[in-house]
Structure 1
């Protein structure tokens, strides 16, 4: 990559970072180009030169956020042998960090826009499927070792994913009486229930 292209790429990433912060702070509908420019330390003209559409910026911001998460997940999970510990770490990495979590606020915006915007819906489905496949791989890893039991792998992943999403939404909006530690504990309790052997299988084993 030439020096000019590298510099242009750095500026694009700077704008995307600034857009993510602005969208999380103000909401996509309320964000002005000047808000992004101020956070990026650029002029509004520079921002619109790289990204003429706020929706495009939202898509790039959520992609960048998810890429960073996937890189961390891939770097850490392979070194965890115990299936339950591996699942617990995945939940810890992907769940909300608390009220105002930037990554989760970006997802709020994506979910909202995906209902009426086909382009946003396509990106949402792509990223959601990627995350779901990571979760499926973790569950399958435990199943292959006889630690997890489930009647349908996809259903188990869907149920655990829905639990993480639902509790993370509550945590991100500041639901009372839901500290992050309790949220993670509830996610693991739900996972234990979803990944327990069916009653008939338990009876056969005894």
Structure 2
């Protein structure tokens, strides 16, 4: 059966999705242009036509993978409710005990970014977008008098650092920290950053 002719945008999206899948299976270091091409039944030359190098392909694949998560984050933070409720919803979704997907992929990306400047630029930009979105809502809550936080940017950095670190633990050493305890730590950290009384005990 002949392959359906795709537009440039559709072809790029297909290649990026296949690259994400190959990275999840093989890891960034081991994945090859040939693996992506073989998965789709296309030539290596077609992949290189669209992305020039493996480094460009991998970086674009991470940006592609993040689009859905960033869109969902912005939807949660854009709801017509209090800043505190929006923040709690976003943090609980993004936390390693929540419904956000792809932690294994992102840990792969952080590791590879240490050696690949193109990927490092992309992952840094995505990280900054996440922190900026959290910072903005914390600042909105402060302005509305919902809570106290003298440094919204610092609070966003500390919260995301905690979530990322817990995700590494949960992904690499699943079961090291009980999920209930991990959720409690995240809630406690958010309460502390917002100057609120803890909503629940911190034991599992």
Structure 2 residues without counterparts, runs of 5 or longer: 197-204
- Over 3 Å counting, the alpha-carbon distance change for 1:90 and 1:41 in structure 2 is farther
- Name the structure 1 match of 2:30: 30
* Structural RMSD (CA): 2.7
Structure 1, gaps ≥5 residues long: 198-206
| Alignment TM-score, normalising by the size of structure 1 | 0.79
Preserved contact between residue 170 and residue 176 of structure 2 (Cα < 8 Å): no
CA contact (8 A) 2:134 2:156 kept: yes
Q: Which of 83-92 and 109-118 deviates more?
A: 109-118
Distance 2:46 2:8 in 1: 11
Tell me what 2:151 maps to.
152
User: CA shift at 1:177, angstroms?
Assistant: 4.4
Q: CA deviation at 1:150?
A: 1.9
For residues 153 and 76 of structure 1, the distance between their equivalents in structure 2, rounded to whole angstroms, comes to 18
Match of 1:165 in 2: 164
1 CA distance for matches of 2:145 and 2:78?
Answer: 18
Residue in 1 that maps onto 2:199: none
TM-score (ref. length: structure 2): 0.80
Count of matched residue pairs? 192
Check the 8 A contact 2:28/2:109 in 1, yes or no.
Answer: no
Name the CA distance, whole Å, in 1 between partners of 2:64 and 2:13: 9
The answer for the alignment partner of 2:108 in structure 1 is 109
